[in-house]
Structure 1
């Protein structure tokens, strides 16, 4: 698949037709509050839709209530097992690489600051973590699972932000394209898939090519359910590298919003880490995973821990050796991994289930200027030369 400046420019003009039409109708009819109230009771796939739900919302939920017909369930099961084997490492990559990568794209950082939820960074991190855990549970797409309703609500959340920014003339579409456009949604899909795999490689985690490809495939399925046009999405990891490299060269850079959001992220995880002695590990890990240039743009502080963090791959390699040689060791490490992930998520959610809702307004001061076997290790695709 070939990506050019021209083809990506066309993706900047496209949103999500189905979700956008649904949200527009809800606002036009004054039914957003009713929808949000009733949707709190829709938390699992297959559960009856509540009485009183607006017709347009009911039609949307029925149309999006199943995964795409092209899903290969064998690949999805391999992806789930990959996640189960690497859950802590994936959570680390999502928190300390994927989220900062969003912030290093200035117009995305500005857009993220538009919602009240970013006043409470733990809410967004908890929603992201909860969404990923829902995805990788057995039976994620079956009746009783919370994943499909979560995907349906996130898709409407994105559409509502597009609605507010365009209808209130608070977004320069001519200069920036459609807010949360297809290019940015594909970029986000890359941040949560390819960039996670890159980060695992940087941490020294041994992955099979088969496992990496299955994990990437799972996020293609997720992207489809979130309204991302999969005809425009890279099918292979090599094409994904070409897209992501071009996307980042086109857009990445420093911004006050990016630095502010990163500071919030660092403060949040320093609160999660017990005590204060290990606080600098948070910044050091972000810097290690995103690189010095991006870390400097995001104003990630430097410390003596920056050097120590580089030894993490050696430590993880030793732990993997224990896991490979001892069934008991493998059980213990997997159990510790699940407990660590659960602790992190419960710390962020404060033990609550996160609810996704359509924001009825955005921040008033928001503005955008107009300008698997471990003997073989998966290797990231080579960087694109422009």
Structure 2
């Protein structure tokens, strides 16, 4: 891709997802959304027969989106999976305390997120994100019996339904804000969940290889394509991801009431997960450390006595990572611990249930809207790339 410009990003801001948007619009026009949701609740794995009675437009959409993009490099995907296994607990931390707040610091995105999930169940979005990532990083993610592809198909339609409702009901200023869940924001999200997660891992002191970092970014390119991101305009490698991320965040980030509220929900959620109350301030301190003081102040992340303590996290992780690098037994033990920790966190967020993705028939009022590291090959983040 060429370096993003204000003009190219303005164009992406007014572009959605033609295939999913047309599918959702037809389902609503024909009054078939309820039928679709009921039948699709039982379609959760690759290879299942589509149920009788499924609307034809939905059947056509599911057929067209049933396969990953033709350009997928399966070797890269396997390297991404091994990278995830090696760093799963760290990735979960980065997703929760860096990537999600990074979304909230974009006021337009914060407003969208506030409009699409119940304020009474703030763990829903984190649970969906965690579950989605776990599905992706299974060895059989694209084979019969896996849950990733159906989840991606449903999330894509969920995004289209949000666009449909907000535009149809006149609750979104398209002229000034652009299309809801536009291509600019979808590509921005792809970079937040890839390079900004890698940035957070680096800030935590996690040992990563260049190959592992590139493969992890590649996996999110595949995810983006399956969620309707136009890859002609998306970054192809980490250098391009840095350029897009820098430009996107610089032109969009800022304070907002919705962003602060979502962040407060996130903090409250994880303070409930952390046993007792003594360590509660660690949640705020970790967010502040990973996203920086300016963004943390915009999101009204409280300053705590743990802010200084958390800065020692990289030194502690460096010790653990060194043990992992030098000992096969240590690596196995830490990988298993990471796997169990990630599963425990996901179980806490989902209350032990599988999260179902469905097309909302309305945006109700209570939804806020009436790998192995080789010594000497450590990955370091690409430097700032503005001005291109």
TM-score by length of 1: 0.97
Q: 2:226 — aligned with what?
A: 225
Q: 1:37 — aligned with what?
A: 38
- Looking at structure 1, the residues matched to 172 and 121 of structure 2 have their Cα atoms a distance apart, in angstroms, of 23
Does 1:290 find its partner at 2:291? yes
Q: 2:26 — aligned with what?
A: 25
Does 1:137 find its partner at 2:138? yes
- Deviations along 1:75-132, one digit per CA (max 9) or x if unpaired, are 0000000000000000000000010011000011111111243441111110000000
Q: 2:195 — aligned with what?
A: 194
Q: 2:150 — aligned with what?
A: 149
Quote how far apart the aligned CAs of 1:330 are.
1.3
Q: 1:73 — aligned with what?
A: 74
Quote how far apart the aligned CAs of 1:339 are.
0.7
Does 1:182 find its partner at 2:183? yes
- Looking at structure 2, the residues matched to 323 and 209 of structure 1 have their Cα atoms a distance apart, in angstroms, of 17
Q: 1:167 — aligned with what?
A: 168
Q: 1:126 — aligned with what?
A: 127
Q: 1:110 — aligned with what?
A: 111
Quote how far apart the aligned CAs of 1:329 are.
1.3
- Looking at structure 2, the residues matched to 278 and 91 of structure 1 have their Cα atoms a distance apart, in angstroms, of 18
| Change in CA separation of 1:367 and 1:2 when aligned onto 2, cut-off 3 Å | same
Conserved? CA contact 2:363–2:369, under 8 Å: no
SS of match in other structure, 2:115 = coil
Q: Which moved more, 1:85-94 or 1:357-366?
A: 357-366
Quote how far apart the aligned CAs of 1:71 are.
0.3
- Looking at structure 1, the residues matched to 290 and 340 of structure 2 have their Cα atoms a distance apart, in angstroms, of 23
- Looking at structure 2, the residues matched to 27 and 351 of structure 1 have their Cα atoms a distance apart, in angstroms, of 32
Quote how far apart the aligned CAs of 1:325 are.
2.2
Q: 2:334 — aligned with what?
A: 333
Q: 1:252 — aligned with what?
A: 253
Q: 1:342 — aligned with what?
A: 343
Quote how far apart the aligned CAs of 1:239 are.
1.1
- Deviations along 1:112-165, one digit per CA (max 9) or x if unpaired, are 111243441111110000000000011101111000000000000000000001
Quote how far apart the aligned CAs of 1:31 are.
0.8
Does 1:361 find its partner at 2:387? no
Conserved? CA contact 1:103–1:262, under 8 Å: yes
TM-score by length of 2: 0.97
Q: Which runs of 5+ in 1 are unaligned?
A: none
SS of match in other structure, 1:301 = coil
Q: Which moved more, 1:84-93 or 1:372-381?
A: 372-381
SS of match in other structure, 2:20 = helix
- Looking at structure 2, the residues matched to 324 and 103 of structure 1 have their Cα atoms a distance apart, in angstroms, of 35
Quote how far apart the aligned CAs of 1:236 are.
1.6
SS of match in other structure, 1:117 = coil
Conserved? CA contact 1:323–1:330, under 8 Å: yes
Conserved? CA contact 1:206–1:376, under 8 Å: no
SS of match in other structure, 2:329 = helix
Say what the alpha-carbon RMSD is for the aligned residues.
1.2
Conserved? CA contact 1:112–1:118, under 8 Å: no
- Looking at structure 2, the residues matched to 258 and 133 of structure 1 have their Cα atoms a distance apart, in angstroms, of 26
- Deviations along 1:185-229, one digit per CA (max 9) or x if unpaired, are 000001110101000000011111111001000100000000000
How many pairs does the alignment contain? 383
Q: Which moved more, 1:313-322 or 1:359-368?
A: 359-368
